[in-house]
Amino acid sequence: MEKRFDPWSSNIQNYESAFDEFGLSKFNDNLKLNHYFFERNIIIAHRDFDKVYKKIKEKKPFVQMTGIATSGKLHLGHKIDIDLFVFFSKFKNSKNYFALSDIDAYCSREKIKSMEEAKKYAVNNLAHILALGVPLKAIYAQSKKEPRYYEFIFEISKKITKNMFEAVYGHLDLGKIEASLLQYADILHPQLKEYEGKMPSLTGIGLDQDSHARMTRDLARKFNLELSSFIYFLHQSGLRQGSKMSSSMPETAIYLDDSQQEIKKKIQHAFTGGLTSAEEQRKKGGNPDICKVHEILKFHNPDTKFVKEIYERCRKGNILCGECKQICSDFVSDMLKKHQEKVKKFIPIANKFY
Ligand code: SF4
Q: What is the pLDDT of residue 244?
A: 74
pLDDT reported for residue 51: 97
| Cα of 182 from ligand 1 centre, angstroms | 42
pLDDT of residue 271: 96
Q: CATH code at 323?
A: 1.10.240.10
Spatial separation of the C-alpha atoms in residues 30 and 181, rounded to whole Å: 35
* Residue nearest ligand 1's atom 8 by CA: 321
Residue 312 Cα to ligand 1 middle (Å): 10
Both 106 and 146 in one domain: the answer is yes
Nearest atom of ligand 1 to the alpha carbon of 310? 7
**End-to-end Cα, the chain, rounded Å:** 43
Do you know the residue count of the chain? 354
DSSP conformational letter for 31: G
Strands 201-206 and 229-233: parallel
Ligand 1 proximity of 274 Cβ (cutoff 6 Å): yes
CA 173–ligand 1 middle distance (angstroms): 43
Q: What angle, rounded to 10 degrees, do the helices at 162-169 and 174-188 form?
A: 90
What 3-state DSSP class applies to 230?
Answer: strand
Ligand 1 contacts CB of residue 324 (under 6 A): yes
pLDDT tens figures, 130-161: 999 999 999 999 999 999 999 999 999 999 99
In the listed set 173, 207, 233, which residue is the last one of a domain according to the structure?
A: 233
The answer to whether the CB of 205 is under 6 A from ligand 1 is: no
Q: Does 349 reside within a domain?
A: yes
Same domain, 165 and 261: no
> Considering its fold, how many domains does the chain have in total?
2
16 pLDDT above the threshold of 80 = no
Lowest mean pLDDT among 88-92, 173-177, 193-197, 229-233: 173-177
Q: Are residues 337 and 209 in the same domain?
A: no
User: Is position 96 within any domain?
Assistant: yes
Neighbours of 164 (CB within 10 A): 12
Quick one: 44 and 156 in the same domain?
A: yes
How high does pLDDT run on average in the chain? 92
* Cα–Cα dist 340/83, whole Å: 16
> Does 6 fall in a domain?
no
At residue 233, φ and ψ (nearest 5 deg) are -110, 155
233, 266, 283: which is the final residue of a domain? 233
pLDDT of residue 98: 98
Residues 180 and 318 in one domain: no
* Mean per-residue pLDDT, 101-129: 95
**CB–CB of 26/32 below 8 Å?**
no
Q: Rounded to whole angstroms, how far apart are CA atoms 87 and 19?
A: 25
**Whether the CB of 202 sits within 6 Å of ligand 1:** no
Measured CA to CA, the distance from residue 274 to residue 288 in angstroms comes to: 8
Q: How many CB atoms lie within 10 A of CB 234?
A: 20
The finding on whether 267 has its CB within 6 A of some atom of ligand 1 is no
Q: Are residues 228 and 257 in the same domain?
A: no
> 48 and 188, same structural domain?
yes
Q: What is the pTM of this model?
A: 0.92
Tell me if 7 is assigned to some domain.
no
- Three-state SS for 139-153 is EEEHHHCCHHHHHHH
Whichever domain contains 199, its CATH number is 3.40.50.620
Q: How many CB atoms lie within 10 A of CB 110?
A: 7
**Does 78 reside within a domain?**
yes
Closest CA to 69 of 254, 209, 218, 253: 209
Confidence (pLDDT) at 4 = 54
* Distance between Cα 316 and ligand 1 center (Å): 11
pLDDT at 14: 61
Ligand 1 within 6 A of CB of 291: yes
Query: pLDDT by residue (tens digit) across 36-50?
Result: 999 999 999 999 999
Ligand 1 in contact with 319 (CB < 6 A)?
Answer: yes
- Ligand 1 midpoint to CA 293 (Å): 6
Confidence of residue 2 (pLDDT cuts 50, 70, 90): very low
- Both 218 and 264 in a single domain? no
Do 180 and 280 fall into the same domain? no
Q: Sheet containing 139-141: which strands, arranged edge to edge?
A: 25-26, 43-47, 229-233, 201-206, 62-69, 94-101, 139-141
239 is a domain residue: no
Tell me what pLDDT residue 42 has: 93
- For 303-316, letters b (16+ CB in 10 Å) and e give eeeebeebbebbbe
Containing domain of residue 143, as a range? 15-233
Query: How many angstroms separate the alpha carbon of residue 167 from the centre of ligand 1?
Result: 43
- Say if residue 101 is in the same domain as residue 220: yes
